[in-house]
Chains A and B, each alone.
Chain A
Amino acid sequence: QQQVKQSPQSLIVQKGGISIINCAYENTAFDYFPWYQQFPGKGPALLIAIRPDVSEKKEGRFTISFNKSAKQFSLHIMDSQPGDSATYFCAAQATGNQFYFGTGTSLTVIP
């Protein structure tokens, strides 16, 4: 059973456009929702994380939006650049060390 559902599986965006990746969950015990970025041949790197008592968090061109009632959260990448081309994973953590990745989104930003 997939604890965190992620969509789309792949995404192609023009340079300068907005990339949007969505995730959904059911377990209300989750208390941290991070996003990771992974380039080919590298390990994932933490991009940004949000707690469920915050509706939005921004770091540079990356924004997480969180909708607690809908149990959904999303990553927006503003002014997308070719260097943003990577695989993005959402994740969720519950107290007691339960940690789940989403299925991943392969983002390609075309010049």
Chain B
Amino acid sequence: DTEVTQTPKHLVMGMTNKKSLKCEQHMGHRAMYWYKQKAKKPPELMFVYSYEKLSINESVPSRFSPECPNSSLLNLHLHALQPEDSALYLCASSPSPIRTYEQYFGPGTRLTVT
């Protein structure tokens, strides 16, 4: 199974809502990533979890809160987002943190903030 799954596929939320994005992989990978991608732009790294510990946080606003409950699951909790946070949120995993280039991406969650 070489798949990273993400739910939901689409999410519309108001600026006062709290929601969560979920990501799951069953490849035994030990590094997991959250990216944000705007239209016609490359993915921007937000967070890296390495062996279930947060290892990189690319100066992301605190309204985004990651969580890694176990080695297969990654969540992104959203609260008080702004319209400019509307984007495709991608989850990825790689065999280890030093093999980022081998990352498998999920299909993404299309987030719209109204």
- With known contacts A42-B107, A43-B106, A45-B105, A95–B98 Cβ distance under 8 A: yes
CA distance A41 to B97 in the complex (A): 26
The segment from A11-19, A66-74, A78-86, A99-107 that touches chain B is A99-107
Contacts of A45 in B (CB 8 A): 104-105
CA distance A92 to B23 in the complex (A): 25
CA distance A89 to B42 in the complex (A): 7
Contacts of A46 in B (CB 8 A): 101-104
Interface residue from B4, B43, B106, B108 paired with A101 (Cβ < 8 Å): B43
Closest Cβ of chain A to B38, distance in Å, is 11
Q: Does B90 lie within 8 Å of A43, measured CB to CB?
A: yes
CA distance A49 to B101 in the complex (A): 8
Closest Cβ of chain A to B12, distance in Å, is 16
A77 near B: Cβ within 8 Å?
no
Contacts of B98 in A (CB 8 A): 95, 97
Contact with B along A22-51 (1 / 0, CB 8 A): 000000000011100000011111100100
B92 near A: Cβ within 8 Å?
yes
CA distance A11 to B5 in the complex (A): 31
Known: A46-B102, A87-B40, A93-B101. 19 other contacts (CB 8 A): A34-B101, A34-B102, A41-B110, A43-B90, A43-B105, A43-B106, A43-B107, A44-B43, A44-B90, A45-B105, A46-B101, A97-B50, A97-B56, A97-B97, A99-B45, A101-B42, A103-B41, A103-B42, A104-B40
20 contacts between A and B (CB under 8 A): A32-B101, A33-B101, A41-B108, A41-B110, A42-B107, A42-B108, A43-B107, A43-B108, A44-B105, A46-B102, A49-B102, A97-B48, A97-B55, A99-B100, A101-B42, A103-B41, A103-B42, A104-B41, A104-B42, A106-B40
